[in-house]
């Protein structure tokens, strides 16, 4: 098929990923998608592997990031069209006048706190004086951790909360560089099933059905390629339905993408709730999350739902 140049030009997308620069040639039938090394983004991996995007008439260029903050920074520079990302970096950016919007949910729950095997950490007070790793300041995991500590009157001033790349967290515990970590799946279940560490608490036990990852779109994508965005979200809905009916095959697809054990992936998927369309309860929980961000100082303004989301591109 003849390639038409995007906006009449070959666009060079330069994105900082894991400390290196990757270059992509983007054409009019390509959507550039940011993602994290997490099975929360299984719908992206499944849709790509099962040819759902091609069926809708476009291609995707998937770009990995080590955390949501880096991804949102790239999106604000128009180096991405859409992205799978935790909610909180998005709302923090919107609070600073970013024009990106959440266009669909991706999952609820799916994180957890892991402690060293034999660490004798059995309650939140035991975390005092310890180092706990997290994906990034202001991440959904960071907010959940601080929410849990605040709710139980445990001060963060006595805990060393440090940022770390999620796939390397288990190794850091093994090397005694930290006593615990909070992360997304499959790395919570992986640490537990390998027998090296213990799950202290799953995020569903901190806040059941909490919003987690979503799909965001840039203003350029929404205004210049609305039909492609609609088709992308149609494929997202199809992929999400497929995941919920085919966890075994999903675990294989995701393990091939992330380089993880398929049995561990299958077990970890039980802790992730995959969704593709919002409802009233979901939106209420989203705004509760924004309120928590305000309490923690990550959001300064009184954001409204309409400032955060644009569901007009969803199917039906």
CATH number of the domain within which 188 lies = 3.40.190.10
Are 235 and 88 members of one domain? yes
> Is residue 1, in this structure, part of any structural domain at all?
no
**If you ran DSSP here, which 8-state letter would residue 50 be given?**
T
Tens-place pLDDT, residues 299-312: 999 999 999 999 99
Q: How far apart are the first and last CA of the chain?
A: 30
Write down the pLDDT at residue 195.
79
On the question of pLDDT at 207 being above 60, the answer is: yes
Beta strands in the chain (DSSP E): 11-17, 20-26, 30-35, 59-64, 82-86, 101-105, 107-109, 111-116, 131-134, 160-163, 180-184, 197-202, 213-217, 272-274
Mean pLDDT of 170-195: 95
**If you ran DSSP here, which 8-state letter would residue 152 be given?**
T
Write down the pLDDT at residue 8.
27
Write down the pLDDT at residue 26.
72
> Is residue 314, in this structure, part of any structural domain at all?
no
> Is residue 316, in this structure, part of any structural domain at all?
no
Last residue of a domain, one of 155, 182, 206: 206
> Is residue 193, in this structure, part of any structural domain at all?
yes
Write down the pLDDT at residue 303.
98
Write down the pLDDT at residue 196.
82
Give the three-class secondary structure for 194. Answer: coil
Tens-place pLDDT, residues 74-132: 999 999 999 999 999 999 999 999 999 999 999 999 999 999 988 889 999 999 999 99
Structure tokens at 269: 């998927």
Question: Which of 14-28, 46-60, 172-186, 235-249 bottoms out in mean pLDDT, i.e. has the lowest?
Answer: 14-28
Computed over every residue of the chain, the mean pLDDT equals: 92
d(C-alpha 259, C-alpha 299), whole Å:
35
Give me the residues paired with residue 213 across strands.
86
Last residue of a domain, one of 180, 206, 232: 206
d(C-alpha 240, C-alpha 27), whole Å:
27
The answer to whether 116 and 163 are in contact (CB under 8 A) is no
Last residue of a domain, one of 165, 189, 206: 206
* Closest residue by Cα to residue 61 from 22, 105, 99, 115: 22
Tens-place pLDDT, residues 119-171: 889 999 999 999 999 999 999 999 999 999 999 999 999 999 999 999 999 99
Write down the pLDDT at residue 301.
97
On the question of pLDDT at 6 being above 60, the answer is: no
d(C-alpha 258, C-alpha 104), whole Å:
23
Give me the residues paired with residue 214 across strands.
85, 105
Work out how many domains the chain is built from and give that number.
2
Are 81 and 143 members of one domain? no
- Residue tagged 């970013």 (tokens): 98
Are 275 and 302 members of one domain? yes
Q: Which domain holds residue 191?
A: 111-206
């Amino acid at each position: 098929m003849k390639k038409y140049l995007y906006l009449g030009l070959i666009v060079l997308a330069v994105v900082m990923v894991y400390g290196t620069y990757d270059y992509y040639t983007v054409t009019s039938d390509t959507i550039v998608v940011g993602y994290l090394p997490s099975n929360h983004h299984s719908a992206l991996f499944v849709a790509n592997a099962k040819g759902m995007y091609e069926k809708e008439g476009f291609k995707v260029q998937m770009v990995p990031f080590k955390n949501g903050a880096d991804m949102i920074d790239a999106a604000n520079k128009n180096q991405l069209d859409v992205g799978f990302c935790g909610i909180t970096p998005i709302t923090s950016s919107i609070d600073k006048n970013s024009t990106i919007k959440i266009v669909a949910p991706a999952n609820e729950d799916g994180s957890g706190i892991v402690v060293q095997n034999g660490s004798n950490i059995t309650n939140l007070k035991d975390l005092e004086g310890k180092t706990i790793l997290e994906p990034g300041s202001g991440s959904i995991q960071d907010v959940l951790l601080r929410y849990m500590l605040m709710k139980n009157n445990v001060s963060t001033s006595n805990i060393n909360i440090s940022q770390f790349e999620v796939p390397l967290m288990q190794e850091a515990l093994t090397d005694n560089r930290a006593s615990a970590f909070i992360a997304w799946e499959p790395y919570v279940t992986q640490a537990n099933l390998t027998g090296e560490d213990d799950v202290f608490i799953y995020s569903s036990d901190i806040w059941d059905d909490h919003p987690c990852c979503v799909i965001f779109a840039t203003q350029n994508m929404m205004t210049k390629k609305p039909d492609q965005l609609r088709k992308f979200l149609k494929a997202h809905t199809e992929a999400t339905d497929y995941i919920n009916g085919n966890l075994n095959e999903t675990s294989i697809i995701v393990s091939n993408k992330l380089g993880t054990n398929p049995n561990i992936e299958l077990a970890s998927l039980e802790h992730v709730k995959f969704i593709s369309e919002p409802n009233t309860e979901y939106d209420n929980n989203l705004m509760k999350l924004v309120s928590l961000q305000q309490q923690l100082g990550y959001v300064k303004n009184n954001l409204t739902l309409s400032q955060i989301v644009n569901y007009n591109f969803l199917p039906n």
